[in-house]
């Protein structure tokens, strides 16, 4: 499945290493220098460990609790930064889209279009993403089982696009917490698509009374190890040089200087289960 994904992505290196692939980067594009710096550092780590890498960054955050929450630096500006990261660092890029008309725009700049979890049932959005010909990464809704994601895969495939990824980001647990059901990963893999564990978002504590999402970053290593152990093809990890100052989702992000140590441990888990 990873080779099939590699065939659809430019600059996707190390696909024959037998390792998981990594989607990593900041929650939202905050500026060009920071995006390039993060991408370069992660690319250096992943090349050393022979981990295929896709740079992640949202060009706009549409799902915010409060009206005054940070959403981005401007769509066109952020998308051009994503394009520059892909060109200068030489890695594929992924960003999320929120409405059907955004698919064609974002597809001009990135290699993977991501469907947010809350929107994974939006038929028109899935069709629009599929018709761009780009790889489509659909995040499993917090309110859905792994089995139900077959229909999202079908919508993309029946729209003429076989390049689909499914990503789990936990399930709602009460009003302000999430829990990971690791059964979802092998279930979704049976659909013949690569499956990814969104490690950092699965540790969010949403719907806080302050309107700012909380998180449990101390458990990032635990969730990541478990995901690799049950056969995840890839991991999604948001990272930032200083999560405390990140403009979005800092409460559940991994500090950039801690990423390489984690990746080394995860490659050992992967090798142990091969």
User: Is-contact 176 205, C-beta < 8 A?
Assistant: yes
Q: Which domains does the chain have, with CATH numbers?
A: 1-273 (3.20.20.70)
Share above pLDDT 70 across residues of the chain, in percent, rounded to a whole number: 93
pLDDT tens-digit map of 230-269: 999 999 999 999 998 888 767 789 999 999 999 999 999 9
Instruction: Work out the average pLDDT over 193-209.
Output: 86
- pLDDT digits over 103-150, tens only? 999 999 999 999 999 999 999 999 999 999 999 999 999 999 999 999
Closest of 224, 188, 232 to residue 203, by C-alpha = 224
- pLDDT grade for 65, boundaries at 50, 70 and 90: low
Q: Stretch 176-193: mean pLDDT, rounded? A: 96
Look at 31 and 209; give whichever has higher pLDDT. 31
How far apart CA 86 and CA 100 sit, in angstroms, is: 23
pLDDT value at position 66? Answer: 59
| Contact partners, residue 263, CB within 8 Å, separation at least 6 | 22, 45, 46, 49, 51
Residue 68 confidence class, pLDDT cut points 50, 70, 90: low
Per-residue pLDDT, 209: 46
Q: What is the pLDDT of residue 4?
A: 83
Residues linked to residue 254 through DSSP beta bridges, in sequence order: 239
């Amino acid at each position: 499945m990873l080779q099939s994904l590699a065939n659809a992505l430019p600059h996707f290196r190390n696909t024959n290493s037998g390792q998981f692939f990594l989607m990593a980067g900041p929650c939202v594009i905050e500026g060009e220098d920071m995006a390039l710096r993060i991408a370069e550092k992660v690319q250096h780590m992943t090349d050393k460990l022979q981990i295929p890498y896709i740079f992640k960054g949202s060009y706009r955050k549409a799902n915010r609790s409060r009206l005054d929450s940070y959403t981005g630096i401007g769509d066109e500006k952020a998308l051009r930064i994503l394009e520059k990261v892909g060109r200068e660092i030489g890695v594929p890029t992924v960003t999320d889209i929120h409405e059907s008309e955004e698919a064609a725009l974002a597809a001009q700049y990135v290699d993977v279009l991501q469907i947010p979890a809350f929107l994974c049932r939006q038929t028109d959005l899935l069709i629009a993403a599929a018709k761009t010909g780009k790889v489509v990464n659909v995040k499993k809704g917090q309110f859905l089982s792994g089995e139900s994601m077959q229909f999202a895969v079908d919508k993309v495939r029946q729209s003429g696009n076989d390049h689909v990824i499914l990503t789990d980001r936990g399930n709602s647990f009460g009003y302000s917490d999430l829990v990971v059901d690791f059964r979802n990963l092998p279930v979704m893999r049976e659909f013949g698509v690569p499956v990814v564990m969104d490690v950092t978002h699965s540790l969010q504590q949403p719907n806080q009374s302050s309107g700012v999402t909380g998180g449990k970053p101390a458990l990032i290593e635990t969730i990541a190890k478990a995901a690799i152990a049950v056969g995840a093809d890839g991991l999604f990890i948001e990272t930032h040089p200083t999560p405390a100052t990140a403009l979005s989702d800092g409460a559940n992000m991994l500090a950039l200087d801690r990423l390489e140590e984690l990746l080394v441990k995860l490659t050992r888990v992967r090798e142990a289960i091969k």
